[in-house]
Amino acid sequence: MSRASLLRVVTFRATHRYGVSSWSEAENTAAFGGLMDIHEHTFRVEVVVEGIPHPVTGFVIDLPAMDRILLEEVLGPLDGSHLNDSVPEFREGLLQPTTEALARWIGDRIRARISPPIHLRRVRVWESDDLAGEVRFEP
């Protein structure tokens, strides 16, 4: 049987800011400008999973199970949050809260919750209509 993919989309609102704590204000301003100020986005998260559709239901993944994972791993921890406080890697200053880093963080959490023969293929995080970060995963 051939493989298929399923795209599921969720949205959440959160704030974030950019800045490197060990840099001077001038260095941060040069690198991040106004993005150093706390600002809010409605993030759109696209998750693509791949697998062989179930012979009876036709689904690659059980939709209620997928929705539960997204609620527990994305919406629950992030909706209404300040990302610099909610995501340990951002809080500890290991990463800036970019869409690329957020896509990786979300993908790692989802990936830990699904198992073969289902595979996470892609996570794309939009912070506006014209800016998104994406991470692709190999099976």
Domain ranges of the chain: 4-136
Q: What is the pLDDT of residue 89?
A: 93
Question: Cα separations (Å) of 123 from 44, 48, 50, 105?
Answer: 10, 6, 12, 10
Q: What is the pLDDT of residue 139?
A: 77
Of 36-40, 51-55, 81-85, 91-95, the one with minimum mean pLDDT is 91-95
In whole angstroms, give the CA distance from residue 97 to residue 136.
Answer: 18
CATH topology classification for 4-136: Tetrahydropterin Synthase; Chain A (3.30.479)
| pTM for this prediction | 0.94
In whole angstroms, give the CA distance from residue 3 to residue 103.
Answer: 24
- Mean pLDDT over each residue of the chain, to the nearest integer: 96
